[in-house]
Amino acid sequence: MKVVRFGTRASDSLRAVAGDLPSRLAVGATTALVTGFCLIDCAYLVKDAHSAWRLAVGCLVLAANFALQLCHSFPRHVRLPDRSRYATLAAQALLAFVPVLVVGQDLIGMIPLLAASALLVLPQRVAWPVFAAVFAGDLAVVLRVGDSWNIVYLTVEFLLNSLIVFGLSRLTDLVETVHRSRAELTRLAVTTERLRFARDLHDLLGYSLSTITLKCELANRLVPRDTTRAQHELAEILHTSRQALADVRTVARGYRQMSLADEAKAAHSMLTATGIHTTVEVTDTPLPADTDTVLATVLREGLTNVLRHSKAEHCAISTAHTGHAVVLRLANDGASTATAAPSPADQGSGIGNLTTRVSRLGGTLTARHEDGWFHLTARIPLPEPASAGA
């Protein structure tokens, strides 16, 4: 049976937001507040015993204002084109003022909702002047259809109601933004970990499997004529395979430390066994753990390229300290011009991986083809030595 999975990353994000308790609480609080304002005005309509048609019109106006307010308070949930929001704001303005002039002051509670929507929908340079204009219109309506002696109370009520609705709506948007950002950061962390695992696995197994393959071929040729050396090569193959298994386990656990000196010794043994004349000049100066691991990784990947992509007869490995930096150089005489430099498409593996690792430590990696030799050079700065008086 074929299972089909529906949905995209965006829909997954929306479901994550919907399932987040703070987001739901914020949306619920704002909706409850707007519902309460509408119910208060509805209670005034019923209390004043309006005629049936006025009561019906009033309820329709309240329902329309409620729907429009939710559109403006929750733009993430009610998807509307940006320009259409100006039309909905204009509709809310008509529904806030015109019914008050017809039905009376029982619907005056809808005007603060209009002021809150103006702050939510309009650009900041326009929103506050429009807010002031709505406030002036509210005062005019109060003087026309309401109790002028109660104007102070109604003014305070207007300011509080409109700013509370605006504040809760913005709070809801901010809560959802923070939750979405957290979900995105989690996704990026997972992606970064996957890339790290892929890079480490490539760098480790590429070298180890290449070594095992070459030594198996060598042992196969040696068995008929040199059993003792063939056994020696098989023992090294076993050692390399066990080391590869241990390396994979350290990658899975998320940490892995390597030694440049140890890798250089292993490289000399492996290259010599394959018939490549090798010179190694690696200083035994202690290096920071991160630098030591990255340079050892550079050496491994460089040797993998030597084994896979060249017909080298000579190989040179050396390190040097220049100023406050350590430089690793790997050269061989069997590379083609195609391996001279990393291409943009190679950034996910091989030399592209090495460039990423070295740059994270503030270093540089260069690869060039010159006079029939391929040169791979990694330069990583070293921390400043602590002063004697520190």
Mean pLDDT, 10 residues at a time, the chain of 390 residues: 40 48 82 90 81 84 91 83 83 89 80 92 90 90 70 84 91 83 72 69 70 79 81 81 73 66 82 82 84 86 74 87 87 66 46 81 88 88 61
Q: Are 349 and 202 in contact (CB under 8 A)?
A: yes
Question: DSSP 3-state assignment of 189?
Answer: helix
pLDDT at 390: 41
Which is it for strands 314-322 and 277-281: parallel, antiparallel or unpaired? parallel
Which part of the chain has CATH 3.30.565.10?
A: 257-382
Q: What's the rounded Cα separation, in Å, for the pair 164 and 153?
A: 16
78-83 LR contacts (CB < 8 Å, sep 24+): none
Compute the radius of gyration of the chain from its Cα atoms: 37
257-382 belongs to CATH 3.30.565.10: yes
Q: DSSP label at 2?
A: -
Q: What's the rounded Cα separation, in Å, for the pair 183 and 186?
A: 5
Q: What's the rounded Cα separation, in Å, for the pair 271 and 133?
A: 84
Residues 6+ positions from 141 with CB-CB distance below 8 Å: 97, 100, 101, 105, 108, 111
Q: What's the rounded Cα separation, in Å, for the pair 390 and 378?
A: 31
Identify which of 268, 325, 338 has the alpha carbon closest to the alpha carbon of residue 295. 325
| 373 class by beta-carbon count within 10 Å (0-12 exposed, 13-18 middle, 19+ buried) | middle
Q: What's the rounded Cα separation, in Å, for the pair 215 and 229?
A: 11
Residues 6+ positions from 80 with CB-CB distance below 8 Å: 71, 88
Tokens 């490289």 -> residue: 267
Question: DSSP 3-state assignment of 288?
Answer: coil
370 phi and psi angles, rounded to 5 deg: -145, 125
